[in-house]
Amino acid sequence: MEDMYQMDRTMSTEQDIKIRANGVQVYYADNQAIKDVDVEIQDKMVTAFIGPSGCGKSTFLRCINRMNDTIDICRVEGDIRIDGEDIYDPRVDPVQLRAKVGMVFQKPNPFPKSIYDNVAYGPKIHGLARNKAELDEIVEKALRRGAIWDEVKDRLHAPGTGLSGGQQQRLCIARAVATEPEVLLMDEPCSALDPIATAQVEELIDELRQNYSVVIVTHSMQQAARVSQRTAFFHLGNLVEFGDTDKIFTNPEDPRTESYISGRIG
């Protein structure tokens, strides 16, 4: 009976795995930032990456949409598969991949364009709208999901760079969701937000979970506990522990995880 249950569970996760990483190593020149990491990220779930600053969370996140390709000195080894397809295969087009795997960066980086054009950028490039009315609709929906619509609806044509830091971050979230990615990678999306906007973004993450898989990097344990179903703890480039969020926070296996969560290392 026990065995049956175990098998059933593995089977079901087997099917739902969206991203599977095996033996990933990342080097910046000679400096190894990620050491032999294995992770399975499930579809329609939120996975949180936690860990002290500089442990490689952002680096690993950027491997998933091959943003590390843009850094000359960065070298990625190992195997990362999305829907069973090796994304580092030479036949895979990184541009296509990034359309499918959206990203919100650690630092807000709105384009020096209007708020509207910032959000419409992705849909325009990928031809998601047939006409202006449809595009308007996409932009509005994205801005609403980014919890910023009410603040900017009267100045859609003002420059995005003129917003406050937290507003810029939400604009970037709106920009990322406007292209309807299958996977959304969020690197500390709430680090510059007030509690109200944070709650709204968390609501958005919860909503996105219905259709997509979301990976979120966060320094807030509470946030990880609130929004994620699975949590990965990184330390010095190693994946120390990975499992259900409840378990990681209530009953961690590794002493390092325990001391990080209780605030003793970091």
Partner 1 sequence: MSNVMLVLIVLGLGVIGFVLGRGRAMSAAGGDRRNLHSLPMYYGANVGLNAVVPAMLVLFAWLIVQPMVINSSVSGMIPEAEIAEGSNLSLMMSDVRRVAEGLDLAVGQGAMTEAETRSAGEDLDGLRDNLAGVGVALGSDITDSTFAAAQRYRVLAGTGHLWKTIATITASLIGLAVAYRMTSTTFRARNVVERGILMVLIAAASIAILTTLGIVLSLIFNTVEFFRLYAASDFFFSLSWNPSFSGRGGGSELGILPLLWGTLYISFIALLVAVPIGLFAAIYLSEYASKPVRAFAKPLLELLAGIPTIVYGLFALLTVGPLLVSVFGRDGALGVDWMQGGTAVMTAGLVMGIMLIPFVSSLSDDIINAVPQAMRDGSLGLGATHSETVRQVILPAALPGIVGAILLAASRAIGETMIVVLGAGAAARLSMNPFDAMTTVTAKIVSQLTGDSDFASPEALVAFALGITLFVITLGLNVFALFIVRKYREQYE
Ligand X SMILES: Nc1ncnc2c1ncn2[C@@H]1O[C@H](COP(=O)(O)OP(=O)(O)OP(=O)(O)O)[C@@H](O)[C@H]1O
Where does this chain bind ligand X (CB under 6 A)? 28, 33, 53-59, 71, 106
Per rule CB under 8 A, count of chain residues that contact partner 1: 28
Q: Which partner, ligand X, partner 1, Mg ion, none, binds residue 226 by CB below 5 to 8 Å per kind?
A: none
- Among the candidate windows 8-16, 18-26, 89-97, 106-114, which touches Mg ion by CB under 5 A? 106-114
Task: Determine, following the binding rule CB under 8 A, whether residue 143 of this chain makes contact with partner 1.
Answer: no
Cβ–Cβ < 8 Å for 203, 177: no
- What is the maximum alpha-carbon separation in the chain? 62
Helix (H, G, I), strand (E, B) or coil at 25: strand
Task: Determine, following the binding rule CB under 8 A, whether residue 59 of this chain makes contact with partner 1.
Answer: no
91 secondary structure, DSSP code:
T
- Give φ, ψ of 136 to 5 degrees: -55, -40
Nearer to ligand X, 58 or 114 (CB): 58
Find the binder of partner 1 among 103, 186, 216, 232 (CB under 8 A): 103
Q: At how many degrees (to 10) do helices 115-125 and 132-145 cross?
A: 110
Q: Which partner, ligand X, Mg ion, partner 1, none, binds residue 53 by CB below 5 to 8 Å per kind?
A: ligand X
| Total number of residues shown for the chain | 266
Helices (H), 79-152: 94-100, 115-125, 132-145, 149-152
Torsion of CA 261, 245, 40, 239, to 10 degrees: 10
Find the binder of partner 1 among 60, 105, 212, 242 (CB under 8 A): 105
Task: Determine, following the binding rule CB under 5 A, whether residue 169 of this chain makes contact with Mg ion.
Answer: no
Task: Determine, following the binding rule CB under 8 A, whether residue 153 of this chain makes contact with partner 1.
Answer: no
In the complex, the residues that contact partner 1 under the rule CB under 8 A are 65, 67, 70, 72, 95-100, 102-103, 105, 107, 109-113, 121-122, 125-126, 161, 172, 175-176, 179
